[in-house]
Structure 1
Amino acid sequence: MSVLRIGTRASALAMAQAGTVATKLRGELVPIVSEGDRSQASLASLGGTGVFAVALREALLAGEVDAVVHSFKDLPTAPVEGLVIAAVPRRADARDALCARDGLTLDQLPEGARVGTGSPRRRAQLAARRPDLEIVDIRGNIDTRLGRVGVADDVEGGAERALDAVVLAAAGLSRLGRSAAATDLFDLAAWPTAPAQGALAIETRVGDERLAARADHRASRVAVEAERGVLARLEAGCAAPIGAHGFIEDDMIFLSARVYRPDGGDQVTASHAAYTADTTPAELAARVADELLSGGAADLAPLGGTGGEGAR
């Protein structure tokens, strides 16, 4: 075969993260613009987070590229006929980061501070932790969001655009060399993030899995498959405020997930662990999801759609 053609979204973040895959697989990047990249409309109005994957998958199925790289949390949980997740590289930092003016932490933000996020999960978590905050819905790339943080006179557009802080994925900041912008990193036990946050997924056509095999990291794959298994079992969509955290330690897989009421006023959590030799990620996810449902998760959050979060 000639040089491996690796499709990716054309955003700076997507190009940066896919670049690490291209280096590992000795391939070349093929930028592909999706509808989600062209539009500034809300993700829900565009059809959910799967909008970012459609153009990539169409190019892959058409044979225009040999593999595509997704931010794994952006993928719906339903499989696509003819395609397969061939590899999950070693996962980056799964935490959320606060990027605030003046080096402030979440607890140090003044009462009524304006915090930007495009994620229903982060909105619920912020409301639960700091109900006094004004939470502002935002979209845009990392630099655009960071550019809205500051004193009104220093921000383009003045007071209407100024934010005291934004919440972003630590992995995205790191991949763009912007980790220094983080003023607070949230512990995963208290602040679980989107299933598969920090992980990439390399997708190929069925039968071509070998093209990406060398990039697969088993522990990362098992953990994120368990997290995404909770989404699949709950049939949770991009509007459902759900966080999950899985990891492997001493041949055991640990999985915890939390469902929030959208206004942050209530939540339900379930946690389970098992030896990796005795269970599959899907089986462990089913136990966690079923416990969430028995605890009233369906009464708290909108369930019944395809999974994924998409907020950067």
Structure 2
Amino acid sequence: MSQAPASTATFRVGTRGSALAVTQTTTVAEALAAASGHPYELVRVKTEGDVTSGPLSQLGGTGVFAAALRLALLEGECDVAVHSLKDLPSAQPQGLVIAATPARVDVRDALCARDGLTLAALPPGAKVGTGSPRRGAQLLAARPDLQIVDIRGNVGTRLGRVAGKAPAADDGGVGRGVQGDLDAVVLAAAGLARLGFEEHITEYLDPAVMLPAPGQGALAVECRPETAADGVIAGALAALDDLPTRLAVTAERALLSRLEAGCAAPVGALASLQNGGLRLEAVVCSTDGTRLLRRSLAGEATAGAAAGLGVRLAEQLLADGAAELAALAGH
């Protein structure tokens, strides 16, 4: 029997089941298919973060959305997995590599408020929903009078918590039951844009007010090393990797790793290419927003220097009291 042409080999892409995850995974899968000439199949994987209703900060620290996808990769259930990089633990597990970081999109957080309100225009004592201690702390730093409400659920469910907004049909059951009880929620601008929900945004929060999570706005395409080295989509993975994005997120994640802080820690970081170099800015907050340490550092824009930049800025933050401020693990 003659073998089928190599171009018919299908690669399998692991994804969470939420509308946002499927949307961003499909975008990556189609780019890989176009570049490689191979068709793809989506493999939906249910994760602990999708089925547990408690606060994210109490769901085992880091990686609650990534662990099941990584296990599926290691066990050969899929060939690549697509993660939101901000949800990915900074420690890379043995047997897996981040083969591509596609070009980053909007890094900012976005306020979605009732009646078109901005952060400054929210009434005193307004209730603002977020599942992120980083967002909550920086909101309180800007507006100490706000009431921060811990919320869960996918993007549509969270939007439905805002007074006057109907929930979009993208949630998988987590966080349902309460609607219209908040004045605003804060979500990643990138996720809202990927879902076509920009009309809900009443203000894009400048990084000067709210530094994003390390890796926010970026995706990570993870796989086994042999897939990246000589698999049918190896060349496509290499072509999809965006160097400026990889440099920036490498610095941000190195800072997070040195601080021994997880995805839920009140830590923000943003690196960018400026004047031929790489500049990294970071903030560590007390969860009540009363104290913030904000520092920046510049270095060379090379793969070898990016991680070192993150470590050096983390060391500066630790020397200035970051561990006591945010009760960082391991310090």
Same fold (TM over 0.5): yes
Q: CA deviation at 1:143?
A: 0.5
> Does residue 71 of structure 1 match 2:84?
yes
Aligned ranges 1:14-163 → 2 under 5 Å? 14-26=21-33, 27-151=40-164, 162-163=181-182
Aligned ranges 1:250-265 → 2 under 5 Å? 250-265=275-290
1:309 corresponds to which residue?
none
Instruction: Give yes or no for contact 2:112–2:184 (8 Å, CA) kept in 1.
Output: yes
> Does residue 270 of structure 1 match 2:280?
no
- Distance in 2 of aligned mates of 1:77 and 1:71: 12
**CA offsets 1:250-292 (integer angstroms, 9 cap, x no match):** 4211101010111100111121112224951111011111110
> Does residue 243 of structure 1 match 2:268?
yes
The residue identity in structure 1 corresponding to 2:105 is: A
Q: CA deviation at 1:74?
A: 0.7
Please say which of residues 2-11 and 193-202 is displaced more in the overlay: 2-11
> Does residue 168 of structure 1 match 2:168?
no
- Distance in 2 of aligned mates of 1:206 and 1:31: 22
- Distance in 2 of aligned mates of 1:19 and 1:124: 33
How many residue pairs end up in the alignment? Answer: 303
Instruction: Give yes or no for contact 2:87–2:263 (8 Å, CA) kept in 1.
Output: no
> Does residue 292 of structure 1 match 2:317?
yes
| Secondary structure in 1 matching 2:66 | helix
- Distance in 2 of aligned mates of 1:195 and 1:55: 21
**CA offsets 1:113-135 (integer angstroms, 9 cap, x no match):** 11000000011011111111111
| Secondary structure in 1 matching 2:153 | coil
- Distance in 2 of aligned mates of 1:239 and 1:303: 11
Indicate how the Cα distance of structure 1 residues 13 and 277 shifts in structure 2: closer, same or farther if over 3 A, else same. closer
Q: CA deviation at 1:35?
A: 1.6
- Distance in 1 of aligned mates of 2:141 and 2:249: 25
- Distance in 1 of aligned mates of 2:139 and 2:246: 29
Q: CA deviation at 1:69?
A: 0.4
**CA offsets 1:148-206 (integer angstroms, 9 cap, x no match):** 11159x89978x85110000000000000001110011111332110000110000101
Q: CA deviation at 1:32?
A: 1.0
Indicate how the Cα distance of structure 1 residues 222 and 73 shifts in structure 2: closer, same or farther if over 3 A, else same. same
The residue identity in structure 2 corresponding to 1:230 is: L
> Does residue 218 of structure 1 match 2:243?
yes
**CA offsets 1:194-252 (integer angstroms, 9 cap, x no match):** 00001100001012214322210010011011011110011012442000010113421
Structure 1 residues without counterparts, runs of 5 or longer = 306-312
| Secondary structure in 2 matching 1:208 | helix
Q: CA deviation at 1:107?
A: 0.1
- Distance in 1 of aligned mates of 2:323 and 2:247: 26
| Secondary structure in 2 matching 1:125 | helix
Structure 2 residues without counterparts, runs of 5 or longer = 1-5, 34-39, 168-175
Q: CA deviation at 1:86?
A: 0.5
**CA offsets 1:5-50 (integer angstroms, 9 cap, x no match):** 1101111000001111011101332111112111212223321331
1:3 corresponds to which residue?
10
Identical columns (%): 55
Indicate how the Cα distance of structure 1 residues 278 and 78 shifts in structure 2: closer, same or farther if over 3 A, else same. closer
The residue identity in structure 2 corresponding to 1:174 is: A
Q: Which one has a bigger Cα radius of gyration?
A: 2
The residue identity in structure 2 corresponding to 1:16 is: T
Give the structure-1-normalised TM-score. Answer: 0.92
- Distance in 1 of aligned mates of 2:156 and 2:208: 28
- Distance in 2 of aligned mates of 1:52 and 1:275: 33
Deviation >4 Å, runs of 4+:
154-158
